[in-house]
Structure 1
């Protein structure tokens, strides 16, 4: 799997990670939970490391913490989670609980989700970063109507990461946010790289285009992931999955040829149709 640099430190990060929304909101003892160790193993064995979660994802943080504590998986995870509440004290309580559920005393990346009470939480996170409780800080959003606010925070705050939605179907971020992140030296995690609204489900009903083989793709999800990674500002894409097979297939998109934006000029519309 290829890696890309985190601009604020020079550390490299593998380009495919795993989102835990829905897929990891599972109870121990269930058949779905029993699949999750293999999901993480598929990620790590392919060379990936980023596992992104949130207090808003139900049981996902607890599931990740338990699996990492009980497993003997190769590779060190890059753990990312979020704070999404109002008020400094409430934010601290929520982040402390995330540390407890993830069974760690340090989070690699803590993100202010949807900019909720952003100034208060970023002030806390700068203190936590100084104390070594978090390694990186960032912000997230997934709604284009909020992109002007995201841009304002990117311009005014020293950040390590931006997490934003970007796909062949949702390309608004490439207009201003992705170039600004590159200009400001901010790494980018891409959520919803497979699109929304059932895009992947619709594509799976069609045959892969002949040019998919040119870049080593054997599935629509791999094509969509290579598109998301084609933008030079993107550091890592984090498709969600609770399936070991899907995780292994997604991880393959991080290897081989990842064409740049010019390659997709006459192809992206076919992916988003």
Structure 2
């Protein structure tokens, strides 16, 4: 059986389920945190309304809390019709103060398209660039690493990750060699499957990583049990893939009005509701929603402004979705 057709974000917004680009009412409100949790989010810029940031534990570098994934969305051809919407996505992304763009050789042309657009926009130095090694063998891994750095960053890259832990015994030491040589700044690992969570926890506890990337959302909260506490305890920054549960969260709220109490944490749309739930966990540094639509990225970015839900509000959000 084929998967059910998911409603588009545009359909949900048109139905009155959220206001785009409505200004947040107040600055971030710090929630009570455990001693091992990440520090509260802080504004990315001084003066005026600013996107929140969280410090990367291994260095203290401030990282804006909303990133941009490129899976499927940036795997496009060379036509203006395909690329101009993505260029506008990047314009709005940078204008908000956001920085982290995540890709992989697995994503087809996404790395090359990202690099082309950044170069055409004159923004090669602004983003925090993250990609992955997704192959076996040291020679193959080295080739893929060099290609990613050139295609996406035109010679620079901030974070390289071992994608889905593929041949990690070979690839992780190679990435560490590049970091030691100053050719990349951070090293991490990723996995999309809950079946790999035991392995991810072991890596977090034993491998002295800078970053881990994992799935986490209102629909999939398994990471809360052990992975997120382990990351906070061991000083590993957490990137979140699938923050909308591959679109299924929008299906679950189709026809439902955003609850009035969402205004308590400056939330004006369902996309912001889902992203602010994730960011309300102090161990999370940056979710990575992917889109090729400028109005959607603008909506996503608003989740990085204003107040975030505290523990009690997050529990209420989860109960609301379950109901």
- TM-score, length of structure 1 as denominator length: 0.96
Aligned residues of 1:36 and 1:244 also touching (Cα < 8 A):
yes
2:147 to 97, 100, 108: 97
Partner of 1:193: 243
- Distance, in Å, in 2 between the alignment partners of 1:109 and 1:70 is 22
Shift of residue 197, structure 1, vs aligned partner = 5.5
- Partner SS for 2:54: strand
- Distance, in Å, in 2 between the alignment partners of 1:196 and 1:72 is 31
Shift of residue 224, structure 1, vs aligned partner = 0.2
Partner of 2:287: 237
Partner of 1:34: 84
Partner of 1:269: 319
Shift of residue 95, structure 1, vs aligned partner = 0.8
- Partner SS for 1:226: helix
2:222 to 143, 150, 172: 172
Unaligned runs of 5+ residues in structure 2 are 1-50
Aligned residues of 1:49 and 1:75 also touching (Cα < 8 A):
no
Aligned residues of 1:105 and 1:133 also touching (Cα < 8 A):
no
How does 1:20-169 map onto structure 2 within 5 Å?
Answer: 20-73=70-123, 76-169=126-219
Of the two, which has the highest radius of gyration? 2
Partner of 1:259: 309
Aligned residues of 1:232 and 1:260 also touching (Cα < 8 A):
no
Partner deviation per Cα, 1:67-99 (whole Å, 9 max, x = no partner): 111113597100000111111111111111111
Aligned residues of 1:81 and 1:109 also touching (Cα < 8 A):
yes
Shift of residue 104, structure 1, vs aligned partner = 2.4
- Distance, in Å, in 2 between the alignment partners of 1:88 and 1:269 is 47
- Distance, in Å, in 1 between the alignment partners of 2:247 and 2:110 is 22
Aligned residues of 2:129 and 2:153 also touching (Cα < 8 A):
no
Closer, same or farther: CA 122–250 of 1 in aligned 2, 3 Å: same
Over the aligned positions, Cα root-mean-square deviation in angstroms equals: 1.5
- Distance, in Å, in 2 between the alignment partners of 1:259 and 1:198 is 22
Closer, same or farther: CA 100–75 of 1 in aligned 2, 3 Å: closer
Closer, same or farther: CA 64–205 of 1 in aligned 2, 3 Å: same
Shift of residue 206, structure 1, vs aligned partner = 1.7
Closer, same or farther: CA 39–120 of 1 in aligned 2, 3 Å: same
Aligned residues of 1:169 and 1:196 also touching (Cα < 8 A):
no
- Distance, in Å, in 1 between the alignment partners of 2:170 and 2:124 is 37
- TM-score, length of structure 2 as denominator length: 0.81
Shift of residue 150, structure 1, vs aligned partner = 0.9
In terms of mean alpha carbon deviation, does 259-268 or 242-251 score higher?
259-268
Aligned residues of 1:21 and 1:53 also touching (Cα < 8 A):
yes
- Distance, in Å, in 2 between the alignment partners of 1:239 and 1:36 is 14
